[in-house]
Amino acid sequence: MKRFDAYILYRLVSVFCFFSLVLSFIYWSNRSVRTLDLLLGDGKSIDIFINLTFLSLPNIILAILPVSGLISVIYLTNRLNADSELIALRSAGASNLELSKPFLKLGLIVSLLVGVLSHEIVPTIKNATKSMQSSVSNEMNAMLLKSGEFFNPAQNITIYIGKIKNNKELSNFFLEDSRDPKKLKTFTSETAFLAGNANNPQIVLKNGSAQTYLTEKKLLDILYFKDFLYDFKFLYAKKVMKQKDKDTVKEMTTVQLIKSLITVNISPKLSHKVKTEIHRRISETLLPTIIILLGFSCLIVSKFSRQQIWLPTAIAIILTVLLQLLSNYFEDLNHSNLVGMWAYYITPIFGGLLLLTLLTLDISFKKKLKVRT
């Protein structure tokens, strides 16, 4: 049985590496195209694009690993069933728990990789990426560097840019300011240019119009202009406030977070954020093992049929999605201070109990047969 476990584990790791490479490449390619469009549209060099895309790889791999682990389990379990290997082992008296050993080992390997990424590598990379992004793009570019779509850089502010040229010229510019419900403002211009600096971002509109609609009087004022200066300082203040309130703990390794709790006199609010991030990472590390074993459990307890392999596969995928939704739900409850830190461990515990129930079904079934005979 040990030799068979090593054989299955070898095939699992091989399939897992293959799917991880394929999924990471697809996800990375999709994100890199967007990054390339943004950077080259602002006149940045290809070197910055290469650095940023490679820095994004650890975060992509972190998201891909549990998914590729589940796909590997589903693929190989169905393959072993098609080759009648699992059927032969079960006929020889191997229980589901014995068959799950190589899958448990794969789950532990994936959890170890996720743990290293989540606790150490990804926070370090996030910090480096943030420094690079701030050095290659000022605040104004970060807010406006979207073309061909409507977006909202702030509440009740809608912007559309037809195209961003290399010289930072914005063509077919549209802005709607509805912060004051009594006075709705709309600005349109053929071209626009970024101006000001990081502390006081501005935009210069050329050859356009400024429309102001007074809702109470139902009057529309239209001003045509050749040059018009629009101040985005309120957006900068909003962004700075977001950066101050943002979880900087996500850019710190777990060791640094623990040290900050022990050695630094921090506020209760920040202490809560640090503890929440530590427990979130621990829960994130446990989930891959649960997902992989749960996927195997759904497949192994079903009566194998080459014509209906889709049903246990669909059940495994649905249960995995439900586990992820449950994890996100309790994370939101924790952020809202409705539940404590223990909520992060409900999903791993629930998934673990579920997979143990599925794996022990054959044991209880065999006991019932013995009692009847």
Same domain, 219 and 339: no
Helix 46-55 × helix 122-136 angle, to 10°: 160
Count of Cβ atoms closer than 10 Å to residue 302 Cβ:
17
Same domain, 322 and 267: yes
Same domain, 197 and 118: no
Check residue 106 and give left, alpha or beta (phi > 0: left; psi -120 to 50: alpha).
alpha
pLDDT at site 135: 54
Residue 344 amino acid letter: Y
State both tokens at 67.
């998914």
Same domain, 114 and 151: no
Domain final residue, candidates 212, 245, 278 = 245
Same domain, 68 and 210: no
pLDDT at site 92: 76
Domains: count for the chain: 2
Domain final residue, candidates 208, 229, 245 = 245
What's the pTM?
0.68
* DSSP per position, 128-177: HHHHHHHHH--HHHHHH---SSEEEEETTEEEEEEEE-TTSEEEEEEEEE
Same domain, 128 and 264: yes
DSSP lists the bridge partners of residue 204 as: 193, 229
pLDDT at site 314: 87
CA distance 253 to 232: 35
pLDDT at site 142: 46
Question: Are 142 and 120 a contacting pair, CB within 8 Å?
Answer: no
Question: Are 157 and 174 a contacting pair, CB within 8 Å?
Answer: no
pLDDT (tens place) for every residue of the chain, 373 residues total = 678 788 889 999 999 999 999 998 888 887 777 666 655 555 555 666 677 777 788 888 999 999 999 999 999 988 888 877 777 877 777 778 888 899 999 999 999 999 999 999 988 888 777 666 555 544 445 445 567 888 877 778 888 888 877 656 788 889 998 888 889 999 999 998 877 665 566 788 999 999 999 988 889 889 999 988 887 665 554 444 444 444 578 888 898 888 888 876 777 888 888 888 899 999 999 999 999 999 898 888 775 555 567 788 888 899 999 998 998 888 888 878 788 888 889 999 999 999 888 888 754 444 444 444 4
b/e code 255-276 from CB counts within 10 Å (16+ = b): eebeebeeeeeeeeeeeebbbb
Domain final residue, candidates 245, 274, 292 = 245
Give me the domain span that covers residue 356.
2-136+253-372
Same domain, 320 and 241: no
Q: Kindly give the residue spans of alpha helices, DSSP state H, lying in 42-56.
A: 46-55
Same domain, 307 and 336: yes
pLDDT at site 308: 61
pLDDT at site 234: 56
Same domain, 125 and 27: yes
Same domain, 268 and 164: no
CA end-to-end distance (rounded Å), the chain: 29
Same domain, 175 and 129: no
Same domain, 264 and 132: yes
